[in-house]
Amino acid sequence: MKQELKQTKFGKYGGQFVPEVLMPAIEELTEQYEKYKDDPVFNEELDYYLRDFAGRPSPLYFAKHLSKEYGVKIYLKREDLVHGGAHKLNNTLGQALLTKYMGKKRIIAETGAGQHGTACAMAGAAFGISTEVYMGARDTVRQRMNVYRMELMGTKVIQVKSGSQTLKDAINEAMRDWAANVETTHYMIGSVVGPHPYPMMVRDFQSVIGKEVRTQIMEKEGRFPDSIVACTGGGSNAMGIFYPFIEDDVDLFAVEAGGSGMKVTEKEALHSATLCTGEEGILHGMHTMVLQNKYGQILESSSIAAGLDYAGVGPELAYLADTGRIKPRNSMDSEALDAFHDLCRLEGIIPALESSHALAYVKKAASSGELGEIVVINISGRGDKDLETVMGMKK
């Protein structure tokens, strides 16, 4: 048993804290993923979809004007150009293909703002697999367009009317569905979170980002960057770009959402800076850092970027932060907004508010020298989805 535990964890983090009804599905998934992850046929097919459907490789763009403005040489990894507008599809394509290889007929997922749901819908349609996405009823109203998008692609969006009618309730409902339909259904998690094997599997699927950066930066600079900066909600875009560099002499900065400040009440945090301020706990099937009160009740997190608004974080990130391999940082809502405007104006690229947190950190840290001379920033997605939000804020 010792050995098995080791497999499912990153140091003490990770594991499989799930109801027994789900354990067989988790075991099956672990087994199947182990089976296919290095399978050449599987990987060839995945590469094909990443290239021809998703549009990979995404460029590594030297941001001339921004470099000048921030005072450090900045390369942008352009996940905003991936089909669907974010890195999310890298993972859902991988999991949908695995679903096909496992012979399952149905995909379920939950979504908050709708980004992961949309990526599921795209992958589901590409592979012709029936897809259902749980979404809090309140979120379906707020994110009407994403609901419509998913439905256009043949995905059934199931409104969850229990509880707060938001992401949390959608997760619960999706888990219930999975529990009831494990034999036929694959549950698609959208970040490096949840029970093993998800954190590892999603990381592997997202690692295509960092692998491309390795080649691209060598072509452009003849050497690796001094640092890589990525925003961190669950942590999938961060792990995706970090992981291929984990053994290299490259500093890795995981930038969390500092929200409107570091204040915390009994029930809420004004931020989502889990690695920076959280404590060890168990949430959504994993042992990781979480935002919680003194009793262990999970706090409602907060961020201007819906994709970062999560009270947990991937267990591997918690582990790497403990060992000092990655450096957790954060940017406030207002700083992210500022950097968002910078990139739009200076480079003609509208970044997601999530990604703007990474930009904002570079803006404030560049002068300290902490980032070195060459920085790669992961532009995890495009900001078209965020225009209403930004419009609603004073600059």
Ligand X SMILES: Cc1ncc(COP(=O)(O)O)c(C=O)c1O
Query: Footprint of its own copies on this chain (CB under 8 A)?
Result: 51-53, 55, 58-62, 65, 78, 80-83, 121-126, 128, 145, 148-149, 152-154, 341, 344-350, 384, 387, 390-391
Which residue number, 22 or 343, has a Cβ lying nearer to its own copies? 343
Which residue number, 269 or 352, has a Cβ lying nearer to its own copies? 352
Q: Is 272 in the site for ligand X (CB under 6 A)?
A: no
Tokens of residue 155, six digits: 């995905």
Kindly state the smallest distance separating residue 212's Cβ from its own copies, in Å. 13
Q: Give the residue, chosen from 292, 301, 303, 380, that forms a contact with other proteins under the rule CB under 8 A.
A: 292
DSSP states of 123-159: HHHHHT-EEEEEEEHHHHHHTHHHHHHHHHTTPEEEE
Q: Is 264 in the site for other proteins (CB under 8 A)?
A: no
Which residue number, 68 or 267, has a Cβ lying nearer to other proteins? 267
The span from the CA of 135 to the CA of 140, in Å, is 6
Which listed option, other proteins, ligand X, its own copies, none, makes contact with residue 351 (CB within 5 to 8 Å by class)? none
Q: Is 115 in the site for ligand X (CB under 6 A)?
A: yes
| From 73, 77, 88, 168, active-site residue | 88
388 is catalytic: no
Sequence-distant (6+) residues with CB within 8 A of 393 are: 304, 337
Pairing of strands 13-14, 9-10: antiparallel
The span from the CA of 13 to the CA of 292, in Å, is 17
Q: Is 347 in the site for ligand X (CB under 6 A)?
A: no
Kindly state the smallest distance separating residue 129's Cβ from its own copies, in Å. 11
Cα-based angle 81, 381, 374 (whole degrees, multiple of 5): 85
Which residue number, 349 or 352, has a Cβ lying nearer to ligand X? 352
280 is catalytic: no
The b-or-e profile of 237-266 (16+ CB within 10 A means b, else e) is bbbbbbbbbeeeebbbbbbbbbbeeeebee
Helix axes 315-322, 198-206, angle to 10 degrees: 80
| Distance in Å from the first CA to the final CA of the chain | 55
DSSP states of 30-62: HHHHHHHTT-HHHHHHHHHIIIIIT-PSPPEEE
Which residue number, 116 or 327, has a Cβ lying nearer to ligand X? 116
Q: Is 355 in the site for ligand X (CB under 6 A)?
A: yes
* Listed ranges 96-104, 122-130, 164-172, 202-210: which one lies at the site for other proteins (CB under 8 A): 164-172
| From 79, 110, 256, 354, active-site residue | 110
Closest CA to 115 of 331, 308, 341, 340: 308
Q: Is 343 in the site for ligand X (CB under 6 A)?
A: no
The site for ligand X (CB under 6 A) is made up of: 86, 88, 115-116, 191, 231-238, 307-308, 352, 354-355, 380-381
The site for other proteins (CB under 8 A) is made up of: 1, 4-5, 8, 15-21, 23-25, 27, 162-163, 168-169, 171-173, 175-176, 179-183, 279-285, 287, 290, 292, 294-298
Catalytic positions: 88, 110, 380
